[in-house]
Amino acid sequence: MNYKYSVIIPTLNEETKIKSLLPKLLEYKSSLEEQIEIIVVDGKSEDETKSICVKSGVIFLESETGRGIQMNNGAIAASGEILIFLHADTELPENIFEIINEKFSNKIQLATFRLKFDDTKMLYKLYSFFTKFDSVFSTFGDQVIIVGKEFYNKLGGFKNYKIMEDVDFIKRARKFTKIIKFNNYVITSVKKFEREGIIKTQIKNFILIIGYLFGVSTEKIYELYYNTDKKRINNFHKISGIRKGKNKVGFINK
């Protein structure tokens, strides 16, 4: 069965990434029989993101800033049966739509790809290996969220979070269905890891996810994620309100 696809890309000052991504998507669109629409939802970029998108001919929407809000606005505008939520710095396999056509069915409600990095260091290979499993620490939006629109609507879309919107969405999805991991890779940039180092970045991410599982607000998590001050991360339990012996994790799925 061939589906109609809506590729939804939230952006914020992504001119370099979107300039590289859109031509590839448009090439896929022109070379395949599948119906594909490309929707870029921009959160008030101050660079040339809008100009690049408008010139390319894709559907361009402007939105309040916040990935959850932006992706929801894209889904509202989408006419496809299958929604593909894609980060601008993620490179898709060339046969992505063939893969989805082959593997997606009425029994599959939500799927993601495995993740590979544009760097061959052993730590990145190790991280990549664990993305074959679905867990709170190994399934994120940068692996591309592929979801049937009916199921997306059943879940009520993404929460209007600036961070953890993917974690929350997949957590709610797990209550109804198994998350499928396609045995194919999407490739993402290591730049966000290289800024602080992969080990430090992963430790920080681990701490923030644990905080989320304890019920820390996404506003506080957002503040911490974009503040790399070591003292603040080390004192995370004070900021979040987590106290030894006072909280138990009713382990919330990611």
The domains located in the chain, with CATH, are 4-193 (3.90.550.10), 198-240 (no CATH)
What burial class does residue 4 get, using C-beta atoms within 10 Å of its C-beta: 0-12 exposed, 13-18 middle, 19+ buried? middle
Q: Which residue has the tokens 């997949």?
A: 170
Phi, psi of 41 (to 5 degrees): -115, 110
**Residue whose C-alpha is closest to residue 75's, from 180, 155, 168, 161:** 155
The pLDDT of residue 250 is: 30
Phi, psi of 108 (to 5 degrees): -100, 120
The pLDDT of residue 117 is: 92
The pLDDT of residue 51 is: 97
User: Distance between CA atoms of 19 and 56, rounded to whole angstroms?
Assistant: 9
User: Distance between CA atoms of 84 and 22, rounded to whole angstroms?
Assistant: 14
The pLDDT of residue 196 is: 79
- From residue 231, alpha-carbon distances to 1, 43, 120, 220, 237 in Å are 54, 31, 31, 15, 11
Q: What is the pLDDT of residues 28-73, one digit of tens each?
A: 888 776 689 999 999 999 999 999 999 999 999 999 999 999 999 9
The pLDDT of residue 248 is: 35
Q: Yes or no: say if 154 and 83 are a contact pair by the CB < 8 Å rule.
A: no
Q: Yes or no: say if 163 and 66 are a contact pair by the CB < 8 Å rule.
A: no
User: Distance between CA atoms of 103 and 72, rounded to whole angstroms?
Assistant: 25
Q: Over the chain (254 residues), what is each successive 10-residue block's mean pLDDT?
A: 90 95 91 86 96 97 95 98 95 87 86 94 93 93 96 97 93 96 92 83 90 92 74 47 40 33
